[in-house]
Structure formats: C-alpha cells, structure tokens
Amino acid sequence: MTHPAYAALSATFTRLYRLGHLSAIAGWDQATMMPPKGNAARGAALAELQVLMHQTLTDPKLRSALDAAQTEALDAFEQASLREMRRAWDAANSLPESLVEAQSLATSKAEHAWRTQRPANDWAGFLENWGPVVALARQEAQLLSQARGISPYDALMDKYEPGMRSADIERLFAEIKTWLPGLIRAVRERQANEPARVPQGPFPVERQRALGLAVMQRLGFDFEGGRLDVSTHPFCGGVPEDVRVTTRYTEDDFTRSLMGIIHETGHARYEQNLPRAWVHLPVGQARSMGIHESQSLAFEMQLGRHPGFLAHLAPLLREHLGAQPALEPENLARLYTRVEPGLIRVDADELTYPAHIILRFEIERALIDGEIEAADVPALWDEKMRAYLDLDTRGNFRDGCMQDIHWPLGAFGYFPSYTLGALYAAQWFAAMRRETPELDRQIAAGELQTVFDWLHTHIWSQASLWPTETLVRRATDEALNPAHFRAHLEQRYLHA
C-alpha cells in the first residue's frame, strides 16, 4: 500500500537533509580551513542557506501533507518518522524568516570575532558582538515559548533535549549538589598521598596527531567516512556519511588533546553508525544532545579513563611520544583521574566537571529569562566560580565566561546536555556490566567490541525512533537514574 502524503514528506525532508549537509561542511570549513577575510561572505552564504531551509519547512503545502499523512495507514516506523517531521515543522513555523537570517548572520560574526577576542581577553569587544546574539535568542525563546506553552529557556533547551524541562534539570542538579562537594573533598584528601608524575615534553604536534589517529583507529572510527583536523574549539561536525572531528594541540601537554580526540570520536561513532537507510529523515538522526554527549562521555570518561583502557594504550603512547616513567600505566591512571578544580571546562576532571555545567545552566537561564543582562555575566560568573570551585576569575574573561564557543554561537540551552550525558553514560555501563560481568577484564585486554556492540544495539541503531525516556528504558530497563553516576564515581575514585 502506498502512502502518497508520507512519500511526499520523505522527499521534502531528504532535500532538507542534503541542504543541511552543505551547511555542515561549509560550517566545518569556516571553523578549520577558511581564511579570515572569507568570514563575511561565508556568513552571508550560510544565512542564505538557512533561509532556504526555513522556507522549505514553512511552505503551506507541508502542513497539508503532514495532516494528510496522519490519516494514512502508516506502520510503526512511519508513525515515528511522522512524529519527528512534525516536531521539525513546529519549530520552524514558530519563527519568522527574518529572525532565522538575523541569527545566522549574528552568530557567524560573533563566533569569528571570538576566536581573536578570547585570547586577547577582550570582553568589551566580545560584548559588542554578543549582545545582538543574546537579544535574538531571547526573541526566539519568546516565540517558541508562546507556541509551546513552556518557559522561554525551556523552549530553547527543548531544541537539544526534546521533552526535558529546566525543572527536571534543577532536580537532578540539586541532588548532585548534595553529595558531589563531599566526594570531591574526600577524593582530593586521598589523592594528596598519591602524587602523579607530569609527562615531560615537548610533544611535537605531528606526533600527537599520529597518536590521536592511532587511538581513533582502536576506537573504530571509519577513516573512509571522516577525518581529523584542528580548530579553535574541538568539535564533531559534518554529516553521518562524512564526519569531521577536530581537536587542538599544545606541545607541552598531550593529555588534553588526546582526551579531546577520544571524546569527539565518541560523537563520531554515533554519527557513523546511525541507520543509513533512514538517516536522511529526522527519525534517522541523533535523538538528543544529551544522548549524543552520552556517547562522547562513554568514550572519554567511562572508557578513556578506565585504568584497563589506559594500560592498553600505554604502549601506543610510548611508541609515538617516547618512553618515560610518566607514561607507565599506573601513572597514566593517576593523571587521568586527578581531581583538581580548574578554570577550563573542557579540561575539567570527571568530578568537578558537573560544577562547570551547573554554573553555566544557572547563568544562561537567568540571561534568557531576562533576570540579568549580557553585561552582568562576568560578575555572576566570578561569584559562582568562587562558590562552586573556590576559584578566582575576576578580570580573566578568557578563562572565564568567554572560554566556550556555545554562547557566541547562540546555543543557549545546550549546556545541561553534558551532565545529562555523563548520567546516561554511567547508566549505559552499569547495564553493560549486568549483561557482561567480565566487561572490565575485556577492556583491560583491549577487547572493546562488547562496548561497541551494546551501544550500537541500544543507542546508535535506534536513532530517533523512540522518545528519549523510552530509549533509556529500552536500553537499561529503567528511567534515567543518577544513582549510577554516583556509584561509578565512588567506585573509581574511592574504592578502586
């Protein structure tokens, strides 16, 4: 039986996916290869592409097709696909074309300027470009809020975490805050008697890159369908058929770039293993950014900092960087589980990382809801860094509120996804250990296929077939349960 309305919708969303492909690759080039003077023209071209995609999604014919498809005898997969199509349609039709274009232009300008303003500690210059990004994000939030009947910040967060609300995030974060500070103190007291050797560089970029490529290969990255490059802020972009991973290097410390590569490889494996037969449809794409971050953190935190995995990697490190005591397995485990509050989120250890996310969540929610203005952010940042991590960031905008790419890109509502991802990742590994009690022995032996197979079966192959809560229950037989995250941290940092 044919379903003409659903077929027409599939053709339209396939076209949108192909336009998105071009946008993704042009955006990757903008961040990695494009010469500085090309930014204005690239920003205009990307804005034009966003407008074209918006026009396609807001064509009145699409609404008629969605309504008609609702009456067709669709199977379960097609019904799920239609649900995701309507979600995309709802979001686009809540926003005017002029706002979509203005946001694309403003974020291109702000992000490009941020690359030089951040190293220069130029808050005043950054604020001049960022102010319009905030104003436009507030407009978007108000329009989406009115259309969906939820708060402005929740309306933005819903783009990244469908169905999740800030009240849910508050409950999770409030629970974490009851036990995390005490755990951090206990671990730091324990580690005071367990010093770690610091690897002695320099570590030439070429050797770090070769090491990163070798580790990506061990982790199953398909180099026929992706590549590794350098950008100001590490990311995983492109499309499932052509995944672009980036990192950044410093010659005095290889540890950060290596974990950055492992993190982004987790994102990449998810993308590369989405179901190709329907990846061109919304139902075939990543479920949420929390689920996406659960893949990167499954690789970086659960697997990448696992003592058995580090012991397995130690010969690779010696091969590419030379032999020294700091690269022995026991010391690597100490290095990568060292708990010490720091200024930079992407370099944070596993225990202090949630504090960075809670801080950003509280600030950006107040900003979008109009409780504070963009100019107020540095003072609030300083206050919360002192309260949560006992660190002083006064006057240090570079390593403070300007450090992340998300805000110049207008990605308000994204940050909670990182801690959600850490919670999900701990729950994935708890489920794996129930099914495979010898998992830790396998990891220590370099046998990682059990991990990859579990993720493929329960996460990668499912794409957006299920609402997030259903996906989690099907994978682990329970709803999101933060107790697994606490148990993981206590086991690794106090009982190992």
Convert the pLDDT of each residue in 107-146 to its tens digit: 999 999 999 999 999 999 999 999 999 999 999 999 999 9
Total-model pTM: 0.95
Query: Which string of b and e fits 434-447 if b means at least 16 CB within 10 Å?
Result: eeeeebbebbbeee
Whose CA is closest to 249, among 205, 216, 207, 213? 205
Copy the structure tokens of residue 383. Answer: 């206050």
Cα distance between residue 148 and residue 102, in whole Å? 22
pLDDT in tens, the chain (496 residues): 589 999 999 999 999 999 999 999 999 999 999 999 999 999 999 999 999 999 999 999 999 999 999 999 999 999 999 999 999 999 999 999 999 999 999 999 999 999 999 999 999 999 999 999 999 999 999 999 999 999 999 999 999 999 999 999 999 999 999 999 999 999 999 999 888 999 999 999 999 999 999 999 999 999 999 999 999 889 999 999 999 999 999 999 999 999 999 999 999 999 999 999 999 999 999 999 999 999 999 999 999 999 999 999 999 999 999 999 999 999 999 999 999 999 999 889 999 999 999 999 999 999 999 999 999 999 999 999 999 999 999 999 999 999 999 999 999 999 999 999 999 999 999 999 999 999 999 999 999 999 999 999 999 999 999 999 999 999 999 999 999 999 999 999 998 7
Catalytic residue list contains 264: yes
**Which residues participate in the annotated binding site?**
263, 267, 293
Given the residues 78, 84, 111, 264, the one annotated as active site: 264
Quick: pLDDT tens for 151-173.
999 999 999 999 999 999 999 99
In the annotated binding site for Zn(2+), the residues are: 263, 267, 293
